[in-house]
């Protein structure tokens, strides 16, 4: 008797549930929060260098049309070329923009080489050597950027 009741009860509960599911009543949107505030999560050097690799790549990519445009101006005529040269020598902002593009490019290039090294030859696959490689890339970028800085600003 009791079992029959129980079975009936289970069956009706199951039916109600099936109906609810088919009418999507119980399927609510998942509104549980997710902890993903990047400012609260610490980022080791390797992660930082990987993210900067992407950002610098994107930045250089976006600046590329600018460079092509400058090239096309310089190729128009001899006069345009020397005009461009003069404004480059006179405008600090112009120099600065070119310098920043250089920095982005140098970093992207070196980080790319690092990535190739680790993917092809398996360099930097431990935490230590990986961090060391990342620091090396930062250091080299710094040094090379300075060289470019001196060159551009005729220091």
CA distance 58 to 87: 27
Among the residue ranges 5-13, 60-68, 90-98, 114-122, the one whose residues contact another protein (CB under 8 A)? 114-122
CA distance 141 to 129: 18
Nearer to another protein, 44 or 139 (CB): 44
Within 10 angstroms of residue 128's Cβ, the number of other Cβ atoms is: 8
Does the footprint of another protein cover residue 46 (CB under 8 A)?
yes
Q: How many residues bind another protein (CB under 8 A)?
A: 23
User: Which candidate, 144, 141, 140, 60, places its Cα nearest to that of 98?
Assistant: 60
Q: What residues contact 77, with CB distance under 8 A and at least 6 apart?
A: none
Does the footprint of another protein cover residue 55 (CB under 8 A)?
no
Does the footprint of another protein cover residue 78 (CB under 8 A)?
no
Nearer to another protein, 60 or 133 (CB): 133
Does the footprint of another protein cover residue 44 (CB under 8 A)?
yes
Q: Please return the burial class of 106, using the count of CB atoms within 10 Å of its CB with bins 0-12, 13-18 and 19+.
A: buried
**Which residues are at the interface with another protein (CB under 8 A)?**
30, 32-36, 40-44, 46-47, 50-51, 115, 118-119, 122, 125-127, 130
């Amino acid at each position: 008797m009791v079992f029959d009741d129980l079975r009936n009860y289970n069956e009706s509960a199951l039916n109600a549930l099936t109906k609810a599911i088919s009418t999507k009543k119980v399927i609510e949107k998942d509104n549980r929060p997710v902890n993903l505030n990047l400012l609260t999560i610490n980022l080791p050097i390797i992660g930082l260098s990987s993210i900067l690799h992407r950002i610098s790549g994107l930045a250089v990519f976006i600046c590329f049309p600018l460079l092509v445009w400058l090239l096309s101006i310089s190729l128009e005529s001899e006069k345009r070329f020397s005009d461009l040269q003069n404004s480059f020598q006179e405008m600090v902002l112009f120099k600065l923009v070119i310098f920043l593009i250089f920095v982005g490019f140098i970093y992207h290039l070196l980080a790319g080489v690092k990535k190739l090294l680790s993917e092809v030859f398996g360099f930097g696959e431990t935490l230590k050597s990986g961090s060391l490689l990342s620091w090396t890339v930062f250091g080299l970028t710094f040094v090379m950027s300075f060289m470019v800085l001196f060159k551009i600003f005729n220091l």
